[in-house]
Structure 1
């Protein structure tokens, strides 16, 4: 469903103003970025890895390319992962004006009408981005895994690389389905499946909820769609997760670093999920873990959607834990079933640049730079604030477009799935257009499909609500 033709205010300027999102970088920060670009750089002792036929896999049109990958099968069994990560080290001077501004921003914010980048685009979409056929500095990870997908050897160092091609997910998926994958990605399906099986055995919690997406429809209009979930999305994500887990292990072994953490869910939360599963008619054997239960559900079924929503109770309390010279109080990410650190998206996320420096130092058996150690205690707070802002901005954009899409359909009825109910109503997922909103009414049956009537679509307040038809 496409929104009606409307005036020019159908943009996201109101959200940018409400959340005081920065429009420009400070002049001093831009000067530093331009000066960094202009400097003629030697290899600085970097390994020359330009012969590796790395490729990137990103959404169509992406320019801030953080990762390039090459997967190989090892003689005698197993896999070798080469994973090049964009390196901001040559471009951001610690303590400088750009560093100060990047710390203030925390991460790139994505809005439908344009991003609020973490770094000036001359860096993030230019000389630091792993664009195809361009020689770029990188933090290069090489991870040797056995035939089960378990890492056995990890080597990380600074290198220069050259991506040979830029792909999107659908293109990679189609090539694999046709039996003609790119040579650099030939093992991806096999390796990705192995890593997914390991994730379930670790107890990783994956919620296959529908992902709303705002896409342009021409003429300044917007529409809502569901982001397709392709197997290659999950397989590619496993490469990043593997790297983050290896990074966390390096940090823990060295006694210094910053982890992405999530405490284990308490027994009450798991018991509550078990009661919900029973109420939805979902069989859950006593010897099956939460991860095994969720992995075995059909995500297209309405009762599965309801249980995924209820399972979010298991994933509360995520944060960042910095530590130095002593083990952290919480060292694991319960949603992944393992220790984990962000290191694979430095163009878009602040913490990754510092975490990469820790890994480079510890891998080379060198001391962690003083400027990195000094920053570690600040990173959890900076990233926590940034994550909260990103979540609010994303939700506001979705709420805004939902109201635009439905503004002239008040009184109409829609098919919906009841996700989570309480005494006053329920959260529902409307199938077409794909909208998540509140529905008033007592006794709404979780996990069932019902008809709902739209009673409100307030564009100014960004509020949509339904009642049971």
Structure 2
């Protein structure tokens, strides 16, 4: 499971960026697309396959993404019904550009997912498509898989449909701007409904026992002629937007379950040992977690703007280990079928520009609504998809871990020997002289070795930076 996302801005010629470029090479990641893939992408961009797409360009869609994003998978239009709400959720129709068995398709199966680095990404599809012809950019008519989900006044789903359509986004918004409009009361419908529907869906999540982790993103910031690491807490608007994606993923999983063929994103319940370990981390960070209080309730009480709470939220991602993709057919759901964090059937279907499996999930849902068998190219790929996605997810996790280690080492390389205030958030049961410490400033979580002394779990500790080697991409602390 990824530990945390890191984002950076600044000049392209810094040593840190050079180290990140070297990391890409060292991991053997794909770089430029082969000529035949680019040629096919150019042809598809000029002439996408849209023979059966309805015209839905009259709906005033909008997108909400980070300011620099250009690979826009989702667009929304929210409205009230006589009793409840209606969510129109448009997902980029990648199948309109990618021919099954063609060069683009083959390359997508090789890459599986977009890989994110602090200074850029390694895309799943050529940017000509992912940031151009297939992206739901404002003012452009685009092919989409268009979901319509009706909710009752409490936010529960009462009806679902999905079809292919041509859509046209009216505006590209960012989270900070959306939050500002909603907080100041200047947001008009349909944007204002994002808060109302988002909060209702959060209440539905609590009722079914689900949990969303508002894990802070780490940002590399310029400071005193150098760089530092800080946490950026997610805004409420981030969570409300995520609820719409979760809503759609659950609706898609239900459609698949009803027809008996599909691919689910599953997660088993965390074992007792993982929860016990997390309780030790909570104790270390002085997080109040009474034994009678459920984990989900504790997480909802946290403020990601606080450094200790942000660090604990990072540790909470350990309970999400074990997630995978499971194919089912002939009406027999897998065991487990439910995603433990979502607390419901769930699938990935809202990010096809960045994730391979979402294109197949869309086709399965379209076939289900049309009461037709899935296309043969979809059925043929289903068996291998879980393994492909597992390998791709593992590669993405490796990239993230290596980036975190490299960035921390690069930012601390001139501070070897300095003393820092830290919390001991974990101690190895087998080797109690080794563990993990959380540093408040900079926002670093790293390994500590104490020699012969047992590390004091849950206590504040003064530590000395013993090693910070960007070449080896490792940071090591010792008790001061």
TM-score under structure 1 normalisation? 0.91
* Aligned mate of 1:190, from 196, 199, 221: 196
Tell which deviates more after alignment, 459-468 or 338-347. Answer: 459-468
**For residues 222 and 380 of structure 1, do their structure 2 counterparts lie closer, same or farther at Cα, with a shift above 3 Å needed?**
farther
SS of the counterpart of 1:418? strand
* Aligned mate of 2:178, from 172, 175, 189: 172
Partner of 2:444: 435
* Aligned mate of 2:208, from 185, 202, 207: 202
SS of the counterpart of 2:387? helix
Supply the distance in 1 between the matched residues of 2:270 and 2:43 (Cα, whole angstroms): 48
Supply the distance in 2 between the matched residues of 1:260 and 1:155 (Cα, whole angstroms): 21
Supply the distance in 1 between the matched residues of 2:393 and 2:378 (Cα, whole angstroms): 21
Partner of 1:245: 250
Q: Which runs of 5+ in 1 are unaligned?
A: none
Supply the distance in 2 between the matched residues of 1:39 and 1:302 (Cα, whole angstroms): 50
* Aligned mate of 2:38, from 30, 35, 42: 30
**2:214–2:239 contact (8 Å) kept in structure 1:** no
Partner of 1:80: 86
Aligned residue runs from structure 1 range 241-280, under 5 A = 241-270=246-275
Partner of 1:463: 474
Is 1:70 paired with 2:81? no
Supply the distance in 2 between the matched residues of 1:462 and 1:185 (Cα, whole angstroms): 43
**For residues 142 and 218 of structure 1, do their structure 2 counterparts lie closer, same or farther at Cα, with a shift above 3 Å needed?**
farther
SS of the counterpart of 1:407? helix
Cα drift, residue 344 of structure 1: 0.3
Supply the distance in 2 between the matched residues of 1:113 and 1:305 (Cα, whole angstroms): 22
Partner of 1:362: 368
Is 1:151 paired with 2:160? no
Supply the distance in 1 between the matched residues of 2:16 and 2:235 (Cα, whole angstroms): 35
Paired residues, number: 465
Supply the distance in 1 between the matched residues of 2:411 and 2:273 (Cα, whole angstroms): 39
Tell which deviates more after alignment, 187-196 or 129-138. Answer: 187-196
Q: Deviations over 1:320-374 (max 9, x none)?
A: 0011213223211001111110000000000000000000110111111111011
Tell me how large the CA RMSD over aligned residues is.
2.8
**2:78–2:86 contact (8 Å) kept in structure 1:** yes
**2:279–2:289 contact (8 Å) kept in structure 1:** no
Cα drift, residue 238 of structure 1: 0.5
Aligned residue runs from structure 1 range 19-418, under 5 A = 19-39=27-47, 43-76=50-83, 78-214=84-220, 223-270=228-275, 282-284=288-290, 286=292, 288-299=293-304, 304=309, 308=313, 311-325=316-330, 326-418=332-424
**For residues 412 and 218 of structure 1, do their structure 2 counterparts lie closer, same or farther at Cα, with a shift above 3 Å needed?**
closer
Q: Deviations over 1:372-394 (max 9, x none)?
A: 01111111111111111111111
**For residues 6 and 187 of structure 1, do their structure 2 counterparts lie closer, same or farther at Cα, with a shift above 3 Å needed?**
closer
Supply the distance in 2 between the matched residues of 1:371 and 1:211 (Cα, whole angstroms): 38
SS of the counterpart of 1:226? strand
Cα drift, residue 217 of structure 1: 8.6
Tell which deviates more after alignment, 186-195 or 336-345. Answer: 186-195
Cα drift, residue 284 of structure 1: 2.6
SS of the counterpart of 2:415? coil
Tell which deviates more after alignment, 193-202 or 270-279. Answer: 270-279
**2:266–2:323 contact (8 Å) kept in structure 1:** yes
Supply the distance in 1 between the matched residues of 2:266 and 2:384 (Cα, whole angstroms): 16
**1:57–1:166 contact (8 Å) kept in structure 2:** yes
**1:3–1:404 contact (8 Å) kept in structure 2:** no
**2:231–2:305 contact (8 Å) kept in structure 1:** no
Supply the distance in 1 between the matched residues of 2:463 and 2:456 (Cα, whole angstroms): 13
Supply the distance in 2 between the matched residues of 1:275 and 1:402 (Cα, whole angstroms): 24
Q: Which runs of 5+ in 2 are unaligned?
A: 1-7
SS of the counterpart of 1:429? strand
Tell which deviates more after alignment, 239-248 or 420-429. Answer: 420-429
SS of the counterpart of 2:383? helix
SS of the counterpart of 2:96? coil
Supply the distance in 2 between the matched residues of 1:349 and 1:2 (Cα, whole angstroms): 25
**1:309–1:419 contact (8 Å) kept in structure 2:** no
Supply the distance in 2 between the matched residues of 1:96 and 1:197 (Cα, whole angstroms): 44
**2:215–2:234 contact (8 Å) kept in structure 1:** no
**1:309–1:420 contact (8 Å) kept in structure 2:** no
